[in-house]
Amino acid sequence: MSKLFSSIDFKGVTLKNRIVMAPMCMYSCMAEDGKITPFHVTHYTSRAVGQVGLIMLEATAVQPTGRISPQDLGIWNDEHIEGLKALNEQLHHYGSKTAIQLAHAGRKAQLDSTIYAPSPLAFSESYKTPKEMTEEDIKETMEAFKTAARRAKQANFDVVELHAAHGYLINQFLSPLTNNRTDQYGGARENRYRFLEEIISAVKQEWTGPLFVRISTNEYATGSNTMDDFLYYAKKMHEQDVDLIDCSSGGVVPASIQAYPGYQVPRCETIKREAGIATGAVGLITTGVQAEEIIQNDRADLVFLARVLLRDPYWPRTAANELNEKLSAPKQYERGW
Ligand SMILES: Cc1cc2nc3c(=O)[nH]c(=O)nc-3n(C[C@H](O)[C@H](O)[C@H](O)COP(=O)(O)O)c2cc1C
């Protein structure tokens, strides 16, 4: 029996299999209003027809100044709810559960407006120098995450994920490479964690469903967070009743990364084992056998797939064939399945 195709429950939300569509920015809001377009509906619904268990929407900005680009998806306004809700209805129709990745780009925003970060350090020469966030800016941003969680609930998402990876705003607070603050949000790791800690608490006031957090488990630079730090953060999140840590890596500072099949899985496995929290593995997971090995050996509870799902929206079917599993088809497709 394949474990990849077994169901799993998070706070009463049952995913029909362990396959997650990883968040992928599509930069497709051409009107620059953050709203769902027909492209998004086609793009995500194709993967729901393809039987992906959990479809996670791309990094979705909680504030306009937190967008990576002007074409990012947004959830900073009540006007965003309608499109997201209609999309969810489609995805649920095909049996997928849905998630939204709440995001703020911080110093990695490429916008004309002022950009914000814990410290006034540019990511590289081609990025703007951000404004150091005041306590008031911090409070506003937390409020934005909280309000976004309320909108996610109104739009009928099943899962919320906080984007604390890839060098975006939350990650900038967590990492000693990007956080030079001398107040209660900087310095020791207890302080660097505070921003995420308070966002989790704020979001939980509005959102009682499953909560995932994506972190970068390796910063590929000297002076960065260590595995001991990541375990400290993971244990704190577990205490805060976060349901799963989605274990990615990189993006904090410019660095060259040697990527190979499953390159992020060992750290994901360590976090699962040492912190006793469910984890999601991501990064060059491309075959059914590889995904099955990760789940069967308890190295992760979910596999997140990105680029392979761009190539093959019906990847679950491809994997099922590889693993001799029978996957049900949407009724209309039964004759060809
Ligand atoms: C087009 C594209 C857009 C991405 N956008 C996001 C994003 O919005 N949020 C995020 O956390 N990761 C993002 N990622 C990273 C993926 O979620 C994933 O972690 C990475 O691609 C490695 O998985 P893969 O080898 O299966 O592609 C993106 C990746 C791609 C290829």
Q: pLDDT digits over 34-46, tens only?
A: 999 999 999 999 9
For the chain, give me the number of helices (H) and strands (E)?
10, 13
| pTM above threshold 0.95 | yes
What pLDDT, on the 0 to 100 scale, is given for residue 307?
98
**Ligand 1 pocket residue status of 45, Cβ below 6 Å:** no
Closest approach atom of ligand 1 to CA 214: 11
Helical residues (DSSP H) of 50-177, grouped into ranges? 81-93, 135-154, 169-174
**Residue pair 95/50 in contact by the 8 Å Cβ criterion:** no
For ligand 1, atom 7: residue with the closest CA: 24
End-to-end CA distance of the chain: 21
What would the pLDDT profile of 148-195 be if each residue is shown by its tens digit? 999 999 999 999 999 999 999 999 999 999 999 999 999 999 999 999
Report how far ligand 1's centroid is from the alpha carbon of 306 (Å).
5
Q: How far is the CA of 102 from the centre of ligand 1 (A)?
A: 14
pLDDT at 283: 98
Strand partners, 14: 9
DSSP 77: S
- 108 pocket-lining for ligand 1 (C-beta < 6 Å): no
Determine the distance separating the centroid of ligand 1 and the alpha carbon of 22, expressed in angstroms.
6
Q: Could you tell me which of 119, 47, 16, 56 has the C-alpha nearest to residue 311?
A: 47
Residue nearest to atom 13 of ligand 1 (CA): 24
Q: What is the pLDDT of residue 328?
A: 85
At 170 the three-state DSSP class reads: helix
Report the pLDDT value the prediction gives residue 1, as an integer from 0 to 100: 86
Q: Which CA distances in Å does 58 have to 6, 34, 36, 67, 125?
A: 25, 12, 11, 12, 26
Output the pLDDT for position 49: 96
Residue 273: the pLDDT is: 98
- Which residue's alpha carbon is at the smallest distance from atom 4 of ligand 1? 24
Residue 74 CB coordination number (10 Å): 24
Low-confidence ranges of the chain (pLDDT < 50): none
Q: What is the pLDDT of residue 318?
A: 97
